[in-house]
Structure 1
Amino acid sequence: MTDLFHEPEDATPLEPHERDGLLQTWITHRRDLNQAEQENIVVGAAWARGRRRVPLERMLGQDFIRTLHKRMFGDVWKWAGTFRTTQRNIGVESYRIGMDLASLLTDVLYWVENETFPKDEIAVRFHHRLVAIHPFPNGNGRHARLAADLLIERLGGERFSWGGGTLADVGELRARYVEALRAADNHDIAPLRDFART
């Protein structure tokens, strides 16, 4: 049980009150938590893909973004779909989440309507900014990757491979992903765009 909440050093640690939001009492080890979250994510992805007819404006709305997180993590965490209220090692200050998310969603709609960037780049920029906002206590990267996949599919593209493996585990693949995110933080989107398609 000692490593249940042990996070990789580049991950967002949970606050004690957020740890108390664990719904499944059978989870006592990190691998159990990873398995439960992954099973819930599969259910959430199926739910989201069943909503392909939802208008783009609604898909790029705060309600859909929050509901997607709840569908992905709501069987595991009581706080799923709820914006974080505490400061993190990454992400905007918690009071800015709603404003920054609204700004991002408006920007993405503009990019799509005006073909500001190629479709892949629109979805990857959406992913990057959603991760940078870090709206939820946990699961932000997985949520943002699925949201970007839903967007690129809606735009007529293929979902991303995101390096072709699992990014939940510490390792070379996760290190490449984090490095690509940091490049995007410095206004170089190419490494993250390339990583998304590897």
Structure 2
Amino acid sequence: MSDPLFDPDDEAATPITPDERRQLIPTYITTRDQLNEAEQIGIAEADRWAFGRKRDVLDEDFLLTLHKRMLRSVWKWAGTFRTTERNIGIEAYRIGVELRGLIGDVRYWVENGAYDADEIAVRFHHRLVSIHLFPNGNGRHARLAADLLAVALGRERFTWGSANLVQAAETRARYIAALRAADNHDLAPLIEFARS
């Protein structure tokens, strides 16, 4: 039987396992809209916290803390690596190693000017999404992390299609298409989308 709260509306959304569902903190949430609203409140608070002072976004502990601050009032598992397999992302046991590799790669790109600032931040975003660190909230976490990196590199925050990607279906479809192009080594659509 379908569960309207947890069954994703689109194939690109990450399904939540029954064990993860039991870790929902607010007991009043019965609809997807209520869940999205509760998560968005936490994300807005984490955004203010993250941009409140200079942060080292290229730090594993910071990335875990950022996710925890985004979703800590909604999910008990906020800020912890997923332990189950997903429809997207790498095997769960590889997450820590791949994240440390990504951080090392991005530090190298920055130190050596391998790409321009926007491309570095978008590559960082794409790899975070591809690794898929958490049970849920990966795209939102990766976008906020990329924004923090872009600002640290002297650029403005990205606009990410200028819409709430959880609620704007057409914009979300463009974002997913850009991610899929990046999966095939074509970053241009994702860089363009990030600044659209």
Q: Smaller-chain TM-score range?
A: over 0.9
Report sequence identity in percent.
62
Q: What residue in structure 2 maps to residue 71 of structure 1?
A: 69
- What's the CA shift for 1:172? 1.2
Taking the TM superposition and a 5 Å limit, the aligned residue runs for 1:37-186 are 37-52=39-54, 54=55, 56=56, 59-169=57-167, 171-186=169-184
Whole-Å separation in 2 of the counterparts to 1:2 and 1:139: 19
Q: What residue in structure 2 maps to residue 24 of structure 1?
A: 26
In the alignment, structure 1 segments of 5+ residues that lack a partner are: none
Q: Read off the aligned partner of 1:115 and give its amino acid letter.
A: G
Q: Read off the aligned partner of 2:34 and give its amino acid letter.
A: D
Whole-Å separation in 1 of the counterparts to 2:39 and 2:7: 15
Misfit runs of 4+, over 4 Å: none
Whole-Å separation in 1 of the counterparts to 2:148 and 2:102: 16
| TM-score after normalising by structure 2 | 0.96
Contact map agreement 1:127 1:147 (CA 8 A) in 2: yes
Deviation string, structure 1 residues 27-47 (Cα, Å, up to 9, x no partner): 111110000000000011111
Q: What residue in structure 1 maps to residue 4 of structure 2?
A: 3
Q: Read off the aligned partner of 1:11 and give its amino acid letter.
A: A
Aligned residues: 194
Contact map agreement 1:70 1:81 (CA 8 A) in 2: yes
